[in-house]
Amino acid sequence: MIINYCGTAVELREVLLSNKPNAMLAASSKGTVPVLVLPGGTVLDESLDIIRWAFDQTSSDLNKLDIRLCGHLSQSGTNLIELNDGMFKQALDGYKYWQRSPEKPQHEHRSEAEQFLQQLEVLLGENQFLLSDQLSLVDIAIFPFIRQFAFVDKDWFDQSCYPLLQTWLEHFLDSELFLNTMAKYPVWNGSEETRNFINL
């Protein structure tokens, strides 16, 4: 979504995580997304690094970008993204794929993830978005992970004690930015024929 928002031209490769192409694993042995391979061969496979790269490619006078999104991340914003990419992502994976580690029941993984949801709910009680009443790249960076969490058990999430987070999530789900980002492309199997060149 960040790359889409910035309007950066990229070569998009749609992958199935259940059938990861060898070329993807060669680029990043983590085997997770996102992975960004730069023209010089540098590989970025952390969300925060890709966010910073995308904004570095954007001209400072691009009218569509709010200056609040272009500036350096505040420490509180950086901390939220690091919590999201660390503790919350680990709990989210356990919640989604709990059958892989049956020694811990699914609801325990969910309870661990809720520690982060509780922090977000408190923040949204102070502002419309996570850091202020204006959209920031922190909201955009965290949204996809909250979306994943919510749709593991949407009925539970819709009835949970996070009404502000539910409203925040719906805002993004209905947004043009999200709908454009979720456009479907042919799955990349590692061959040149399934490469998708797009200019967002």
Query: Tokens 């969300």 label which residue?
Result: 47
Output the pLDDT for position 193: 52
CATH numbers and ranges of domains, the chain: 2-65+184-199 (3.40.30), 73-179 (1.20.1050.10)
Output the pLDDT for position 188: 81
Output the pLDDT for position 67: 42
Is residue 96 a contact partner of residue 148, using CB atoms and an 8 Å limit? yes
Output the pLDDT for position 199: 40
Residues in contact with 178: Cβ distance below 8 Å, sequence separation at least 6, in sequence order? 1, 143, 172
Q: What is the pTM of this model?
A: 0.77
Angle at 124 between CA 119 and CA 128, to 5 degrees: 155
Point out the residues of the chain with pLDDT beneath 50: 62-65, 67-68, 70-71, 194-200
Backbone φ and ψ of 121, nearest 5° = -60, -40
Output the pLDDT for position 185: 79
Output the pLDDT for position 158: 96
**What residue type is 66 in one-letter code?**
D
Output the pLDDT for position 162: 97
3-state secondary structure of 42: coil
